[in-house]
């Protein structure tokens, strides 16, 4: 084919390809309301749902933050019953200190709670901390750049960040998962298994957000069994062993956590840090690294005059049977841990309706002044 | 930075733009070399020291061979290069394997084997670039090529990023002359490269990564699945590894192509092979030709009679298996292929004496003559893949949680239950079977089309507007149906 004809052909191909993509994009945009019901970001514990719901509600007195450990272990109605203060669980899965910083900046810039309780665990303070998938959803370009400079390469961050930015202007890419689910349900006759999965996912995602942001999968009937049972089957022990890391007092996770506390204090928000314990089998395996991490966290809190509640050493009877897996508590244990935190902070003092910083004069525990 | 990632897309866009904007020929060597080192350092910055070391060693050996005429000195220089490259490979890839194997032998003999492993990380691509540089020094030694006097060009030959981490293994005599040519920007190359890259991407993220979702649970616990599902998983793994590796090769060739370089084809519809020799002329062609030219032929090839030929085949395939990984399961996989090649040679000898099907025989007769061997070849290849796939299980931090004997037992159980029905009371089941079978059919269609064009038949040329709409549909299908999980390329671990 002569060069001019070949170039002419290429131009037509490129032009029709682009036109085709634009046409599909327009179609996807028109279907957006239906597609949105398959959006996995609507998952309760994902990065979008709970913070978004919090923004649309009156700011509670107490906001509970942390990762999935805190999402299950910090039970708002226990805090409310013990303190009389409205409480919301804004903890999100797959988050660590960098993500908590970003969330705090976004949630508390204009409206502020009286108190933030941060549930932490050693698994969020390993020496090789780097922002992960949740940060890719949350971080803006400045935060991404800061993470790359502080934590070095962030391979789990840059790719998803780029994908998110592409999704901002390419609707088909942005809704690729939803299009698949939507298509499966529409072609249920030919793909019954896929259609059923899409249907269940849509129903699960579109449940209303609990008033207090809290839902335990076991209590909601979506998780059966416990750690003791799983250990008998020989499954979870191998998987969780890979989470053990190293302690480094200079790790960026600690520095970021310190910055978070400073940010909250400077915003006039009282802070309580609660160390959430792992299952006994994990504690045994992390015996060399967990205590120094706890001690370092305690030291940071002391330096910033922030109350630290150590549930690791608490007189709370815990068994592997009360854990869903090696690091996530079951519903009953979550309530006991939350009650312990309320009780401990009640001793040092915070009271409903008043400025927590003057509540040190109180000697009571759970009674309202 | 894997080819199917957004980070690589940004990297390639920057490299492509800067490369063609550079006016100087020298700039078009320095810049891709620096980009290649940056690409390699994205995995681990310190490992670039190894590749630079291998480059310098073989460049110097090449220059020394040029001025050496004495056979002993030339042999010593060659031995230095081979020992250096195999030494790097041996230490980083095989040291722990030999230590663990020795420890097992010592303990089996009743002694206390407390030998600690070195725990070295496996540098990515080490199996590929060490073989590539060794081929250079061997060819210089054999006087098949003149050694290069340009260290920059040689370094780029070793480290060129499209083929650095998972091949194709490029021979110096194929690549170095290209570095001397002046590159011109050609839209035809860009068009070919883009389409080939999309083909590779389709194989990787649409077919291979989706098949992996089905394959992984079955191979992790084959005893929980019924015989029918084991067969499905076995063929799905064959599809996965082909699409994963050939998809990577396609993308590597495409990326090199848009930068003006031609890399050799690495796959030629391997699952259409009739006979194991045919399979190895179609699968990982760059490795099989390397093993043929630098191992099989120097051992004697087929020149020493039948028994020696079989010996040479078996040695080549055992070492070829070991090249893939430091595990006895890979060695067994290689051994199975060696055995299959020997059986094929025996069978070919018997068949050629008795076959009366000539070129004038009816098409049906000629097709029937090939169909059964094709089926047997396909079955042999896929049964061998079971051993290739059943590696000792490791966690994400590299800790091995399964012994080699347990992995072998798992593979053996898998193969046994392909032919002996399982009696699982509450079997697990494979979801998405129609989707997986559709993906296998797509893979088959791609191989058939590839074979069609390889035999000189005309390519499918659509009218331009229809081609454009087809590309748009292709891109949309890729976006929607690509797997949610991003898995590393299988051959990166070699």
**Side-chain half-sphere CA neighbours of B475 within 13 A:** 21
B47, two tokens: 């490992």
Among all residues of chain A, which has the CA nearest to that of B467? A13
Tell me, what's the pLDDT at A349?
A: 47
Q: How many CB atoms lie within 10 A of CB A195?
A: 18
Of A16, A20, A159, the CB nearest to B5: A159
Calculate how close chain A gets to B108, using CA atoms only, in Å: 27
Calculate how close chain B gets to A74, using CA atoms only, in Å: 30
Is the confidence at residue B118, as pLDDT, over 90?
Answer: no
Q: Can you give the C-alpha Rg of chain A in angstroms?
A: 24
pLDDT tens-digit profile of B349-392? 776 655 555 556 666 666 677 888 899 999 999 999 999 998 87
Cβ–Cβ below 8 Å for B471 and A176: no
- Decide if A45 contacts A217 (C-beta within 8 A): no
Cβ–Cβ below 8 Å for B6 and A172: no
B312, two tokens: 């040479």
Whether chain B has a CB inside 8 Å of the CB on A241: the answer is yes
Cβ–Cβ below 8 Å for B464 and A13: yes
Cβ–Cβ below 8 Å for A242 and B396: yes
Cβ–Cβ below 8 Å for A6 and B188: yes
Whether chain B has a CB inside 8 Å of the CB on A153: the answer is yes
CA-angle at A42, arms to A65 and A217, nearest 5°: 65
| Choice between A239 and B60, residue whose per-residue pLDDT is larger | B60
A359, two tokens: 């509540």
Q: Can you give the C-alpha Rg of chain B in angstroms?
A: 24
Q: Give A 189-218 residues with CB within 8 A of chain B.
A: 191, 193-194
Residue range B104-116: mean pLDDT, rounded = 72
Residue A273: phi, psi to the nearest 5?
A: -110, 125
In chain A, residues with a C-beta closer than 8 Å to the C-beta of B188 are: 6
Cβ–Cβ below 8 Å for A163 and B6: yes
Per-residue pLDDT band at B56 (split at 50, 70, 90):
very high
Cβ–Cβ below 8 Å for A242 and B397: yes
Of B7, B469, B481, the CB nearest to A180: B481
Q: Which of B468, B475, B485 to mutate to test the interface with A (most CBs of A within 10 A)?
A: B468
Is the confidence at residue B202, as pLDDT, over 90?
Answer: yes
Whether chain A has a CB inside 8 Å of the CB on B471: the answer is yes
Place of tokens 């992790």: B220
How many helices and strands (H and E) does chain B possess? Answer: 21, 0
Whether chain B has a CB inside 8 Å of the CB on A303: the answer is no
pLDDT tens-digit profile of B233-283? 999 999 999 999 999 999 999 999 999 999 999 999 999 999 999 999 999
Q: How many CB atoms lie within 10 A of CB B47?
A: 18
In chain B, residues with a C-beta closer than 8 Å to the C-beta of A193 are: 431-432
Q: Quote ipTM for the complex.
A: 0.81
Rounded Cα–Cα distance for residues B164 and B132 (Å): 10
Residue A117: phi, psi to the nearest 5?
A: -110, 120
What are the CA-CA distances from residue A125 to residues A132, A245, A265, A327, B376 (Å)? 13, 9, 21, 14, 55
Classify burial at B455, counting beta carbons within 10 Å of its beta carbon; exposed 0-12, middle 13-18, buried 19 or more. Answer: exposed
Is the confidence at residue B295, as pLDDT, over 80?
Answer: yes
Cβ–Cβ below 8 Å for A166 and B6: yes
| Choice between A355 and B308, residue whose per-residue pLDDT is larger | B308
Rounded Cα–Cα distance for residues B55 and B53 (Å): 5
Of B464, B472, B480, the CB nearest to A179: B480
In chain B, residues with a C-beta closer than 8 Å to the C-beta of A183 are: 480
In chain A, residues with a C-beta closer than 8 Å to the C-beta of B431 are: 193
Whether chain A has a CB inside 8 Å of the CB on B187: the answer is yes
Of B7, B188, B465, the CB nearest to A159: B7
Tell me, what's the pLDDT at A351?
A: 43
Among all residues of chain B, which has the CA nearest to that of A237? B401
Q: Which of A2, A7, A13 to mutate to test the interface with B (most CBs of B within 10 A)?
A: A13
What are the CA-CA distances from residue B387 to residues B141, B237, B407, B492 (Å)? 37, 11, 9, 18
Cβ–Cβ below 8 Å for B432 and A193: yes
Whether chain A has a CB inside 8 Å of the CB on B449: the answer is no
Calculate how close chain A gets to B103, using CA atoms only, in Å: 24
Whether chain B has a CB inside 8 Å of the CB on A176: the answer is yes
Task: Look at residue A281 and give its three-state secondary structure.
Answer: helix
pLDDT tens-digit profile of B415-447? 888 888 877 666 666 667 778 888 999 999 999
Cβ–Cβ below 8 Å for A14 and B468: yes
**Omega before B335 within 30 of 0, i.e. cis:** no
Please pick, among B284, B324, B337, B382, the residue that the annotation labels catalytic: B324
Of B10, B188, B401, the CB nearest to A162: B10
Calculate how close chain B gets to A338, using CA atoms only, in Å: 33
Cβ–Cβ below 8 Å for B395 and A242: yes
Rounded Cα–Cα distance for residues A213 and A56 (Å): 12
Whether chain A has a CB inside 8 Å of the CB on B467: the answer is yes
Q: In what order do the strands lie in the sheet with A270-275?
A: A87-89, A62-66, A115-120, A270-275, A307-310
Known catalytic membership, residue B29? no
Mean pLDDT, chain B, whole residue set: 86
B265, two tokens: 């084809």
What are the CA-CA distances from residue A131 to residues A72, A157, A297, B185 (Å)? 21, 7, 19, 40
Tell me, what's the pLDDT at A308?
A: 95
Cβ–Cβ below 8 Å for B465 and A12: yes
Tell me, what's the pLDDT at B141?
A: 94
Calculate how close chain A gets to B469, using CA atoms only, in Å: 5
Tell me, what's the pLDDT at B206?
A: 92
Whether chain B has a CB inside 8 Å of the CB on A21: the answer is yes
Contacts for B310 with CB less than 8 Å, ≥ 6 apart: B342, B345
Per-residue pLDDT band at B162 (split at 50, 70, 90):
very high
Of A17, A158, A241, the CB nearest to B468: A17
In chain B, residues with a C-beta closer than 8 Å to the C-beta of A171 are: none
In chain A, residues with a C-beta closer than 8 Å to the C-beta of B217 are: none
Place of tokens 């037509």: A12
Cβ–Cβ below 8 Å for A7 and B187: yes
Contacts for B74 with CB less than 8 Å, ≥ 6 apart: B65, B68, B141
Cβ–Cβ below 8 Å for B484 and A177: yes
Where does residue B136 fall: left (phi above 0), alpha (psi -120 to 50 degrees), or beta otherwise?
alpha
Cβ–Cβ below 8 Å for A13 and B471: yes
pLDDT tens-digit profile of B62-79? 999 999 889 999 999 999
Q: Which of A17, A174, A235 to mutate to test the interface with B (most CBs of B within 10 A)?
A: A17
Q: What is the pLDDT along chain A (369 residues), one digit of tens a residue?
A: 666 788 899 999 999 999 999 999 999 999 999 898 888 777 766 777 888 889 889 999 999 999 999 999 999 999 999 889 999 999 988 888 999 999 999 999 999 999 999 999 999 998 888 887 677 778 888 888 888 888 876 667 788 888 888 888 899 998 998 998 899 898 888 878 888 888 988 888 888 888 899 988 887 777 777 887 777 766 555 455 546 788 999 999 999 999 999 999 999 999 999 999 999 988 888 888 999 999 999 999 999 999 999 999 888 888 888 998 888 999 999 999 999 999 988 755 444 333 443 333 323 333 233
Q: How many CB atoms lie within 10 A of CB A109?
A: 9
Per-residue pLDDT band at B327 (split at 50, 70, 90):
confident
- Decide if B270 contacts B452 (C-beta within 8 A): no
B316, B312, B311, B309: which is closest to B334 by C-alpha? Answer: B316
Tell me, what's the pLDDT at A1?
A: 62
CA-angle at A324, arms to A323 and A328, nearest 5°: 75
Size of interface A-B (CB pairs under 8 A): 84
Tell me, what's the pLDDT at A362?
A: 29
Q: Global pTM?
A: 0.84
Percent of chain B with pLDDT over 70: 88
Rounded Cα–Cα distance for residues A185 and B379 (Å): 37
């Amino acid at each position: 084919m002569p060069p001019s004809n070949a170039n002419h052909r290429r131009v037509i191909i490129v032009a029709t390809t682009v036109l085709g993509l634009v046409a599909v994009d327009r179609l996807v945009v028109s279907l957006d309301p239906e597609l949105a019901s398959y959006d996995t970001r609507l998952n309760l514990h994902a990065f979008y749902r709970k913070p978004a719901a919090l923004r649309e509600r009156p700011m509670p007195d107490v906001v509970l933050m942390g990762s999935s450990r805190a999402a299950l272990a910090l039970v708002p109605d226990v805090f409310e019953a013990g303190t009389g203060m409205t409480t919301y669980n804004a903890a999100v899965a797959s988050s660590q200190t960098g993500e908590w910083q970003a969330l705090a900046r976004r949630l508390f810039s204009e409206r502020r709670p009286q108190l933030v309780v941060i549930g932490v665990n050693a698994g969020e303070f390993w020496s090789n901390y780097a922002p992960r998938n949740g940060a890719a959803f949350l971080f803006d370009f400045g935060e991404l750049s800061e993470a790359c400079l502080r934590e070095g390469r962030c391979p789990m961050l840059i790719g998803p960040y780029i994908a998110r930015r592409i999704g901002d202007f390419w609707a088909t890419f942005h809704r690729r998962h939803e299009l698949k689910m939507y298509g499966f349900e529409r072609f249920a006759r030919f793909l019954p298994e896929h259609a059923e999965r899409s249907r269940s996912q849509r129903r699960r995602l579109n449940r209303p957000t609990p008033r207090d942001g809290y839902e335990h999968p076991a209590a909601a009937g979506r998780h059966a069994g416990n750690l003791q049972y799983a250990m008998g089957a020989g499954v979870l022990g191998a998987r969780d062993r890979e989470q053990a890391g190293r302690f480094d007092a200079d790790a960026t996770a600690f520095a970021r956590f310190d910055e978070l506390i400073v940010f909250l204090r400077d915003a006039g928000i009282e802070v309580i840090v609660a160390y959430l314990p792992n299952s006994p089998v994990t504690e045994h395996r992390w015996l060399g690294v967990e205590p120094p991490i706890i001690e370092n966290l305690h030291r940071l809190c002391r330096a910033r005059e922030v109350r630290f509640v150590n549930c690791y050493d608490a007189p709370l009877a815990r068994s592997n049977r009360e854990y869903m897996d090696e690091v996530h508590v079951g519903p009953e244990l979550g309530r006991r841990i939350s009650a312990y935190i309320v009780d401990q902070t009640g001793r040092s003092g915070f009271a409903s309706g008043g400025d927590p910083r003057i509540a040190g004069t109180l000697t009571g525990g759970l009674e309202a002044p | 930075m894997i080819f199917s990632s957004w980070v690589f897309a940004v990297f390639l866009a920057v490299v492509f733009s800067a490369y063609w904007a550079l006016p100087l020929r020298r700039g078009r060597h320095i810049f891709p070399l620096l980009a290649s080192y940056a690409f390699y350092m994205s995995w681990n910055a310190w490992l670039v020291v190894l590749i630079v070391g291998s480059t310098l060693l073989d460049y110097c050996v090449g220059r020394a061979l040029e001025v050496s005429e004495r056979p002993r000195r030339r042999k010593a220089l060659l031995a230095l290069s081979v020992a250096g490259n195999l030494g790097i490979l041996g230490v980083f890839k095989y040291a722990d394997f030999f230590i663990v194997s020795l420890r097992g032998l010592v303990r089996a003999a009743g002694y206390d084997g407390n030998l600690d492993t070195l725990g070295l990380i496996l540098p990515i691509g080490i199996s590929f670039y060490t073989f590539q540089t060794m081929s250079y020094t061997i060819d210089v030694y054999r006087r098949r090529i003149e050694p290069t006097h340009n260290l920059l060009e040689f370094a780029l030959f070793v480290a060129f990023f499209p083929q650095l981490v998972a091949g194709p293994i490029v021979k110096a005599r194929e690549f170095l002359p290209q570095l001397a040519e002046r590159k011109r920007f050609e839209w035809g190359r860009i068009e070919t490269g883009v389409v080939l890259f999309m083909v590779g991407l389709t194989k990787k993220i649409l077919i291979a990564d989706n098949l992996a979702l089905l394959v992984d649970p079955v191979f992790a616990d084959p005893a929980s699945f019924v015989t029918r599902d084991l067969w499905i998983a076995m063929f799905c793994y064959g599809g996965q590894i082909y699409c994963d590796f050939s998809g990577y090769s396609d993308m590597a060739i495409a990326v090199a192509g848009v930068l003006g370089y031609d890399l050799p084809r690495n796959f030629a519809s391997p699952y259409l092979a009739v006979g194991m020799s045919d399979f190895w002329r179609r699968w990982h062609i760059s490795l099989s030709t390397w093993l043929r030219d630098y191992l099989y032929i120097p051992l004697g090839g087929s020149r020493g009679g039948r028994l020696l030929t079989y010996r040479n085949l078996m040695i080549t395939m055992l070492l070829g298996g070991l090249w893939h990984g430091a595990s006895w399961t890979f060695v067994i996989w290689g051994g199975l292929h060696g055995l299959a090649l020997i059986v094929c040679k025996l069978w070919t000898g018997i068949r050629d004496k008795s076959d009366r099907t000539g070129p004038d025989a009816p098409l049906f007769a000629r097709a029937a003559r090939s169909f059964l061997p094709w089926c047997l070849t396909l079955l042999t290849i896929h049964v061998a893949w079971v051993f290739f796939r059943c590696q000792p299980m490791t966690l994400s931090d590299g800790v091995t949680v399964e012994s080699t004997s347990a992995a072998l037992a798992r593979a053996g159980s898998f193969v046994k239950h392909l032919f002996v029905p399982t009696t699982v009371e509450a079997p697990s089941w494979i979801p998405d079977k129609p989707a997986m079978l559709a993906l296998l059919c797509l893979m088959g269609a791609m191989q058939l089309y590839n074979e069609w064009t390889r035999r000189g038949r005309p390519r499918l040329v659509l009218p331009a507007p229809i081609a454009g709409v087809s590309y748009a549909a292709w891109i949309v299908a890729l976006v929607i149906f690509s797997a949610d999980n991003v898995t590393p390329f299988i051959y990166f671990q070699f």
